[in-house]
Amino acid sequence: MVGCGSAATGHVYGMAASGQFDIVALAEPSPESLERFRARLPLLGDVPAFSSADEMFQAVDLDAVTVVTPHTLHHPIVMSAIKRGLHVLCEKPLTCEVAHAKEIAEAAEAAGVVVMVRYQRRFDPAYRFMREKIASGELGELRTIAVTCGQRWQRGTAGTWRQDPALSGGGMLMDSGSHLADMLLWLVDRPVESVSALVDQCGSPVDINTSATVRFAGGVHGQLTVIGDLAITWMETVVVSGSDGLLRYEVDPQHPWRTGRVTFSRDNQIVEPLRLQRGPSEHEAWADAIRGEGPNLSPPSAGVRVAELTAAIYRSAREGQTVRLDTDADVALSA
């Protein structure tokens, strides 16, 4: 495991629940982080720790690594792992720059290793339900989709690497917003044609609030709203409108960490599925893909597309213009 901060804990639980992994080494430069991590997870007390990923790669025979570090460190660490033939589960965003994401996608392909981006909503039954309804055509012709997420992020991350562009690569859009950018692209599943966006830094060195209008091939309108100065802990909604139906998803603000509630309306009926089909977790899917027993359900191409959308949003907001992705691809990141 590379990076033993707060999100790494979820990876330990996820890997343990899958029953497919042995955690044999840790790489963490901060003694304080490491101590807190071992205190939270006493079972890992004897697992050897190294102060850098490369030291760990040299010292221990590994099959795979999780990369759970600040954002701009993902690219060099993932590239180093790929060069050693290791499979990777990398936290979001895969990279902060389009060229870096493409480099990882190409290197993973050439090395024959599985690099998965940890976009866990791809494994969430409610999001899977929405994607299935759109893909099956039950919604009719897809017309508009509005995806919104908000967190008390600006206050919650003050003074941490998340508001330091050198380590975060951007603000709330690069952080939790990355999940919803991926959901917008994954649910619509068509090429992006153009992006028009507003970004408010609210006095921070990084983006706090973002509103983006995204035009997809076939004229589908997408709206991505990312709120980093929310007055409450968390909110997340999705509304997808098609010629024959409507999907609505909302996280329950009283249980913000749980999966949300989804409804499907069609022919004047509201269908609220009581049982949503569970698929593999991201750690189970990663293990299946490594063994060649399943597809990579969150491949590096997801990281490339999110990086392209993110860069287009920053550029549109900076220049006050609509950015066309077909002609202006590989736009540089502003942050």
Ligand X SMILES: NC(=O)c1ccc[n+]([C@@H]2O[C@H](COP(=O)([O-])OP(=O)(O)OC[C@H]3O[C@@H](n4cnc5c(N)ncnc54)[C@H](O)[C@@H]3O)[C@@H](O)[C@H]2O)c1
Site string for ligand X, 30-69 (x = CB under 6 A): x--x------------------xx--------------xx
Q: What are phi and psi of 282, to 5 degrees?
A: -65, -35
Q: Is 7 in the site for ligand X (CB under 6 A)?
A: yes
Contact between 227 and 148 (Cβ < 8 Å): yes
Only one residue has tokens 């993973």, namely 108
Q: How far is the CB of 150 from ligand X (least distance, A)?
A: 15
In the set 14, 25, 70, 209, which binds ligand X (CB under 6 A)? 70
DSSP structural state of residue 203: T
Q: How far is CA 50 from CA 44, 79, 160, in A?
A: 14, 18, 23
Contact between 311 and 333 (Cβ < 8 Å): yes
3-state DSSP helix/strand/coil % of the chain, to nearest 5: 40, 25, 35
Q: Is 91 in the site for ligand X (CB under 6 A)?
A: yes
Residue nearest ligand X by beta-carbon distance: 5
Q: How far is the CB of 109 from ligand X (least distance, A)?
A: 23
Q: Is 256 in the site for ligand X (CB under 6 A)?
A: no
Q: How far is the CB of 132 from ligand X (least distance, A)?
A: 22
In the set 97, 103, 175, 308, which binds ligand X (CB under 6 A)? 175
The separation between the first and the last C-alpha atoms of the chain, rounded to the nearest angstrom, is: 28
Q: Which is nearer to ligand X, 123 or 129 (CB)?
A: 123
Q: What are phi and psi of 237, to 5 degrees?
A: -135, 155
Q: Is 104 in the site for ligand X (CB under 6 A)?
A: no
Which residue type sits at 147? V
Q: Is 281 in the site for ligand X (CB under 6 A)?
A: no
Q: Which is nearer to ligand X, 92 or 100 (CB)?
A: 92
295 vs 286: CA distance, rounded Å: 9
In the set 12, 25, 27, 64, which binds ligand X (CB under 6 A)? 27
Q: Is 150 in the site for ligand X (CB under 6 A)?
A: no
Q: Is 86 in the site for ligand X (CB under 6 A)?
A: no
Q: How far is the CB of 197 from ligand X (least distance, A)?
A: 21
Angle ∠(332,181,90) on CA atoms, nearest 5? 80
Tokens of 326: 């077909």
Residues forming contacts to ligand X in the complex (CB under 6 A) are 2-8, 27-30, 33, 52-53, 68-71, 73, 91-92, 118, 120, 175
